[in-house]
Amino acid sequence: MLSRMAKRENPYISLIANIVLPTIVLTRLSVDGLLGPTYGLLAALSFPITYGALDFWRRKKVNFFSALGLASVLLTGGIGLLKLDPQYIALKEAGVPLLVSFAVFASMKTKFPIVKSFLQKLMDYDKVQTALEERKNTEAFDRHMTFANHLFAGSFLVSAALNFFLAKWIVVSAPGTEAFNAELGKMTALSFPVIALPITLMMAFVLYGIISKTEQLTDLNMEDFFFGAKGKEKEGSVS
């Protein structure tokens, strides 16, 4: 149990590496006389890329969302270094969450919906299924999970729209200039309060609804199934 906890992502380090440091470099150090636009952009991108590589090395596994985030960073760098039209930034910012939304919708047609796969890492899913079958509430739970999948996918559609309009509003200068880097830094800084925070709250609402519905349909308390049953936690702590 302790070894698994040690491998969980530190949200504060993630925030610093992916938002704070790139923002500082892009807005303060990308001027001529310091790093300049090109090296400033490369330096800013190096933080999320290094963080992603170290996180992969530590966990020894590829996470779909982490891989998508790294691809997004590389696309931003490509647009900046190739000096493409800044409108591609807006398209890229919208395209990444749009792709996630489509992936969530598509997964609902398979045996491994993304939300279900995510929950299996957070709760004792076998225990929940057993309790549902005993109370003949499996179909009701499945209906709620379908609803949760739609909400989860919908949150990324909202993110795509917010990303597009934020990038379209802020990033207007040509890549390869100080102004472009500064605008990119401003967009990165605003992406957390304007986009990431509301979407995180929306996802928390979805998770809260799943937990509440699970408690209602299984007659179990959250402590009995969330993050594993108490018995499992004790067993894992010994190892």
Count Cβ atoms within 10 A of the Cβ of residue 83 and give its class: 0-12 exposed, 13-18 middle, 19 or more buried: middle
Distance CA 204, CA 214 (A): 15
Distance separating alpha carbons of residues 24 and 26, to the nearest angstrom: 6
pLDDT tens per residue across span 195-210: 888 888 888 888 888 8
For the chain, the domain total comes to 1
Summary mean pLDDT of the chain: 80
Using pLDDT thresholds of 50, 70 and 90, give the confidence band for residue 90: very high
Q: Are 229 and 127 in contact (CB under 8 A)?
A: yes
Residues 6+ apart with CB under 8 A from 77: 41, 42, 45
Q: Which domain holds residue 84?
A: 2-238
The more confidently predicted of residues 34 and 147 is 147
CA nearest 102: which of 150, 161, 166? 150
Distance of CA 193 to the CA centre of its chain: 14
Band of residue 88 on the pLDDT scale cut at 50, 70, 90: very high
Whether the pTM exceeds 0.75: the reply is no
Residue 128 pLDDT class (50, 70, 90 cuts): confident
Which of 44-58, 61-75, 203-217 comes out lowest in average pLDDT? 61-75
**3-class DSSP state of 123:** strand
